[in-house]
Chain A
Amino acid sequence: MLGNTIGGLLILEAVFMVIPLVTALIYEEKDWEAFGFTAAFTALSGILMRRIPVRSNRMGKREGFILTASVWIFFSLFGMIPFIISSTPVSASSAFFEAMSGFTTTGATSVTIPITELSHGIIIWQALMQWLGGMGIIIFTLAVVPALNNSGGMLMFNAEATGVIHDKIRPRISQTAMTLWGMYLILTLILISLLWIGPMDLFDSICHAFGTISTGGYSNKAQSVAEFGSNYVLGVICIFMFLSGINFALLYKTIFLQNWQRFRNDDVIKAYIGIIVVFSILFAVGQLIRTGYTSFTDIAFYSVFQVVSTLTSTGYLAPGFFMWEPFILALVFVMMFCGGCAGSTSGGAKIDRVIYLKRFIDNELHHCIHPNSVLYVRYNGKIVSPDIVRKTIAFLCIFMILVVSGGTALSFLGLPPVDSFFSSLSCLCNTGFGASITGYGDDFATMPDLAKWIMSFLMLIGRLEIYTVLLLFTPSFWK
């Protein structure tokens, strides 16, 4: 069962590797060999894995978790091969970090080679990995492979999809997956064309669209989005980052079922917009204090861009936001933790959970004074079952424990404390802000190899929302 399904998915990955292969051929680059080899090797491994005899077809909750976690690991293991054997080779640790950071839409890079020297093949592969990982590998598979349209596929969907409660849009899991991917694809296509109209060429628009909609934050330019010096580009990207931070199921209902009422009254949307407004003002104030008034764009527009980019875990940097004040850095910490809405492509702990936590704390405080009052956490007017609230609180606690453990492990490897904890949070939230922001080195490349593996692991935990990965390390799971 395990080998069979993973094998099938690897074949699918091999199909996707044809895209960078073709790109390399178009630009007449030597890297087509690297992609040709990897695609063939991946497809062959997939075919061999499918040959593993199936012992039982039964798929329980446990198999759902194992499968989903291993699919992500296998995808990264095969996805890293092109980086090692390309014309600009990197070490295995860096390559795995690169692949994991791509698929989990973290968007951090540890490649020291200047981006201008990378081949178009490698660049499109980096962008494509983010795009695939954004909505989710499993969800994509469910949408295209009818064989998984059963309860097993459902379990895998639940193990991968982000959020507290997984909304099904339509009765069958493949229909839900198809709708979500349809939305995702439409948004991507719109963004590509909007960027193409602007100052970008087609290749750049594709790379940036993939990086934006997946909230991975990939850019094939050394100066990231600032390179184009165009407020049109920043504006368009800002809007689409905002959209990608919204629950895709809700987006679908709003746009295609014309359910505006539901959108306007949604607690998460209100909080999402509220957070963006408040933090933008704080950012602008911070920026004013630092630089004084320069221009409206510098202060207001770039602040909004930076807030949206941070909150949705995209990680694009607005011009002039390279060295951060302690106050702004603290705000960034908070926003990375919050993340976007559940069911979106963004990372972090998700606003939904933060809302639950806030209401839960309110209730607890109220209880101290009025011990007999009956209080429940309510969300969109409906009571959230105490089980779910409990699970959310546990999630947030584990989240913090992971940030601290990750940070501690990184400082053990010799990183300064602030950078350790910042990198740990940045990886777990899939934001991917480089360590450059805190002043340690230029990027993740200067980190020791072991640190790269730790951070890759944190990214995976963060992307699959903790439980799916951590469960594999609990003794009771294997009993």
Chain B
Amino acid sequence: MKIVIAGAGEVGTHLAKLLSYEEQDIIVIDEDGDKLDVLDSSYNLMTVKGSPTSFYTLKDAHTGKADLFIAVTPSESTNLVSCSIAKSLGAQTTVARISHYGFMDPANKEAMTRMGVDRLIYPEYLAAREINTALQHSWVRNWFELHEGQIILVGVRIRENAPLAGMQLKEFATTTGHFHVSAIRRNHETIIPRGNDYMLAGDVLYITCTREHIDDLIKLCGKVQQRIKRVMIMGGSKIAIRLLDIVGDRYKFTIIDNNREVCASLPEKCPNAEIIHGDARDPEVLVDANIYDCDAFIALSPSSESNILTTLSAKEFGIKKSVAEVEDIQFIQQAEALGIGSVINKKLLASSTIFQLLLDTDSSTSKCLALTDAEVAELEVKPGAKITRAEVKNLHLDRSMTLAALIRNGQGRLVTGNTTFQTGDKVLIFCLAGSLHKVERLFT
């Protein structure tokens, strides 16, 4: 697939790297030659220097032949204009990164299409949605649901007290047939387990099950579903504003920010929250803001380090659920190892959305799960696909992927070795980074 990415910022660079591992044809456009040099010299892709809103640059980058045009510069208007130009040059699908909700409003969909913008990425909105799920399901780290919750995939870290800890996968499968252990993350590595692997205390397990068995899973993992009422947020960022907008008045929010101007602008945007001006890194400020009464702490300041450390100190005040925004990808696994409940990363969320697009699924209905070294995707089985030819155990699947569950006729069920796929099935796939193109081949 030919993909043109405009903007070699954080999201653009991350996408370009990931997609080049996925054996796609990538061309990256940016005005800053230095940023491009780094990409050009070490990754298998091509770069074009120039403005993303210039017809000449876009022509140089063969935008006319592109299957996908992704505009992810920091400027929203640049993104929209370059998508518009790309579309007029003949790009198949255009995607723009935006930073205002107005563009996403279904009422404006037609105007956007007329402008030549097919899809939108709004990382802050995705992050807010992710935090919302994390608050609703406080016992898990990741929550991914398919088809209105028919199939649920959770990522959960187990401790010694979990009945699951120390159990072999084979044994687990014979005692209860309602769960599918899709992946295990152990010591910074994600593995797709086989029958004779063990689940150990300290592992993050990615388990798939149907809706009716989710309560059993909470017990098996030794967790308790906490009810969250009061939430404290550090940093009045765009994500915070979006989160409050989505959640409404389900929770009581307190926002702490150390910038007075930001604080001054917040009461208008978040009328139901209490705004406190102060430095959340200071424990006294937290105590003054009544942290003892709070159930959840969400750190959304621009600095990943502050977010991780402040979340850790907030946990000492008896927080039940912690969420931290970690923009440096290399810190994510460290943060998870330190015991931070859920980690939010805008880049991963954005790239997950693009992956869904690549796999040609309707990203508006399915939710994506962003992990550092793996992807969870939902795919529909097309007529004549390779995957329909045999039972799962005879398909000789690559070790870098697992088929967890499927939805047939609106009913969710787990995939076993004897499952045979049919056209129209929706399949939940868990695959390690760099193997998405293999998955794609199976389904077409």
Contacts and interface: CB of A to CB of B under 8 A. Distances in A.
Query: Do A and B assemble together?
Result: yes
Kindly name the residue among A150, A154, A155, A171 whose own CB sees the greatest number of chain B CB atoms within 10 A. A171
Contact of A150 (B26, B33, B44): B44
A153 interface: yes
B443 interface: no
A173 interface: yes
Given A171-B2, A385-B33, A153 B25 contact: no
A61 B38 CA distance: 12
Contacts of B42: 61, 151, 154-155
Contacts of A170: 25, 46
A175 interface: yes
Nearest to A152: B44
A127 to B, nearest CB: 33
A65 to B, nearest CB: 13
Nearest to A146: B23
A171 B21 contact: no
A378 interface: no
A171 B61 CA distance: 10
Nearest to A175: B25
A173 B44 contact: yes
Interface in A96-153: 149-151, 153
Given A150-B21, A151-B20, A172 B33 contact: no
A158 interface: yes
B41 A172 contact: no
A160 B80 CA distance: 40
Interface in A6-63: 61
A168 interface: yes
Given A151-B20, A385-B33, A171 B43 contact: no
Contacts of B33: 385
A155 B42 CA distance: 6
Contacts, number: 34
B46 A168 contact: yes
B436 to A, nearest CB: 15
B217 to A, nearest CB: 36
Interface in B1-53: 2, 20-21, 23, 25-27, 33, 40-47
A175 B44 CA distance: 11
A101 to B, nearest CB: 31
Interface residues of B, number: 16
A171 to B, nearest CB: 4
Contacts of A168: 40, 46-47
A209 to B, nearest CB: 31
Contact of B41 (A149, A153, A158, A175): A158
B36 to A, nearest CB: 11
A158 B43 CA distance: 11
Interface residues of A, number: 15
Nearest to A169: B46
Nearest to A60: B42
Given A150-B21, A151-B20, A171 B41 contact: no
B374 to A, nearest CB: 18
Contacts of A385: 33
B45 A171 contact: yes
A171 B19 CA distance: 12
Contact of A151 (B2, B44, B46, B47): B44
A309 B46 CA distance: 34
Given A154-B42, A385-B33, A149 B23 contact: yes
A5 B114 CA distance: 51
B44 A149 contact: yes
B233 to A, nearest CB: 39
Contacts of A155: 42
Contacts of A149: 23, 44
B23 A171 contact: no
Contacts of A150: 20-21, 44
B303 to A, nearest CB: 29
Contacts of A172: 23, 25, 44-45
Nearest to B4: A171
Contacts of B20: 150-151
B43 A151 contact: yes
16 contacts: A149-B44, A150-B44, A151-B43, A151-B44, A154-B42, A155-B42, A158-B41, A168-B47, A171-B2, A171-B26, A171-B27, A171-B46, A172-B23, A172-B45, A175-B25, A385-B33
Interface of B: 2, 20-21, 23, 25-27, 33, 40-47
A-B CB proximity, top 5 nearest: A171-B25, A171-B46, A168-B46, A154-B44, A151-B44
